[in-house]
Amino acid sequence: MNPLLLYGYGTTASVKDRCLVVREGRFTPLTFNMDEHGEIREPKVERFWPRHIPYDSIVVLGNSGYVSFEAIHWCSIHKLPIFLMGYDGSLTSSILPPQPIRADVRRAQLEAYLNDEKRLSMAREFVDAKLERSMVVLDWLREKYDIEREVRCFNKERLSLERAKTVNEVRTVEGRSADFYWRAFAKVVPKKLEFKSRRSGSRYNASDPTNALLNYGYAFLQSCVRRAINATGLDAGVGFLHEDKAATTPLVYDFQEPFRWLIDYTVLGMVESKAFSWDDFYFSGEDYRMRFKPPLLERYLAVLREQFNSVGHTVLYRGDRVKWDTLIGLKVQEFARFLIGKSDKFDLKSPAPVLERSDTRELRDKVLSLSASEARKLGLGKSTLHYLRKNARSRKSFKIYRPVLQKLVTRK
């Protein structure tokens, strides 16, 4: 996912001399247009020749400005979707390239939806994959934070998924597990950021910075999933886990679930590195919704691009290293093949992400090189030092001795 982000009041996209011309808008008041050095940012104007645009989509943030009909046509020819996002992180509309006509896929999709047993199986697969990857994030967190109670409760709820006999029961398991997941998440966020939960209004109209980042990140993920579904020929309006309500895309929401951890992990990393504060946001005057100031928005988009689309964030799948953005497309394609009988299984749980803390690796290296005299100065006996060396990759050993071992990293 490598979008061209357009935002501000008066943003435009048009075509001149066969080139796509995009003009960035401004924020109000003018002071919100300051960059990280305190200087006013001048709106960008970019021109792209046909077949020479380095982006794979256009994301328009806000509702002031226009995209001309000719620009829509230019983007359609270049298979460049346009996503319109509200300042609250909601995906309000999209303009997608023409879908391939796949009557066999859509017919099989509808038949599976109408089959209670198949629908339940698929709903369970979406949730099972989400919970398994959420557990990977929790394991990553527990290396540094005391979230054992939340993890135990999460796993207890998760085990009940196999006993779910209806789609509603699957949703109940997902909801109860998510409650403990977000309790653990909240323990990581400093109190001054006022993150409470993801319940009710917080997920739609964020009133704290962390929820604002999560909302925007999920909209970013949603646009990635929409593009993959559109390219495959599936019907986004026929889902298996989420309800089919008017003007919604249940299948998009279904496929978001196994990949939400990417956004959670990214935001947690920004929380730990103190990459944002209240000063990076403002409340709009007309509806009191929290909005990003441009410098943070650009930094956040760069981090999301890195997470989804960089060589440094890849995963081994079927013998190849693939980016997470690519993997989402592959999983949607596999789902379509499964529906029409060209594949005998549908698996969203593999490949599993591998998350490791840089500070944990540093601790392990320090422990392995620790001399007996250095260990004594830290209050570690010979037997303890032997135990730590022997179990250098054990989470339990590092949890027990972390307060002492942390000195190894913080000392000069």
Instruction: Compute the distance between CA of residue 49 and CA of residue 47 in angstroms, rounded to an integer.
Output: 7
Amino acid at the residue 134: S
Average pLDDT over residues 250-259: 95
> Who has greater pLDDT, 384 or 200?
384
Q: What is the pLDDT at residue 271? A: 94
Amino acid at the residue 204: Y
Q: Which helix (H) or strand (E) holds 218?
A: helix 209-232
Asked whether the predicted pLDDT for residue 81 surpasses 80, the reply is: yes
Lowest mean pLDDT among 179-183, 238-242, 276-280, 373-377: 373-377
CA angle 4, 10, 12 (to 5 degrees): 45
Q: What is the pLDDT at residue 396? A: 53
Q: For 194-212, what is each residue's pLDDT tens digit?
A: 998 886 545 556 789 999 9
Average pLDDT over residues 121-144: 94
CB atoms within 10 A of CB 28: 14
CB 128 within 8 A of CB 349: yes
Q: How confident is the model at residue 412 (pLDDT cuts 50, 70, 90)?
A: very low
Task: Compute the mean pLDDT over every residue in the chain, rounded to the nearest whole number.
Answer: 85
pLDDT > 90: what percent of the chain?
46
Q: For 287-342, what is each residue's pLDDT tens digit?
A: 677 888 888 888 898 899 888 887 667 888 888 889 999 999 999 999 999 999 99
Q: Which of 345, 348, 342 is nearest to 317 (CA)?
A: 348
Q: Which residue has the tokens 């917080």?
A: 202
| Domains of the chain and CATH, by start | 3-80 (no CATH), 103-339 (1.20.120.920), 358-410 (no CATH)
Asked whether the predicted pLDDT for residue 369 surpasses 70, the reply is: yes
Lowest mean pLDDT among 41-45, 149-153, 260-264: 41-45
- Please report, for residues 122, 238, 343, the alpha-carbon distance to residue 234 in angstroms, rounded to integers and kept in the order given: 15, 8, 16
Average pLDDT over residues 103-117: 94
CB 95 within 8 A of CB 209: no
Q: What is the pTM of this model?
A: 0.81
Asked whether the predicted pLDDT for residue 228 surpasses 70, the reply is: yes
Q: Which helix (H) or strand (E) holds 83?
A: strand 82-85
Asked whether the predicted pLDDT for residue 45 surpasses 80, the reply is: yes
pLDDT > 70: what percent of the chain?
86
As a three-state string, the secondary structure of 178-190 is: HHHHHHHHHHHCC
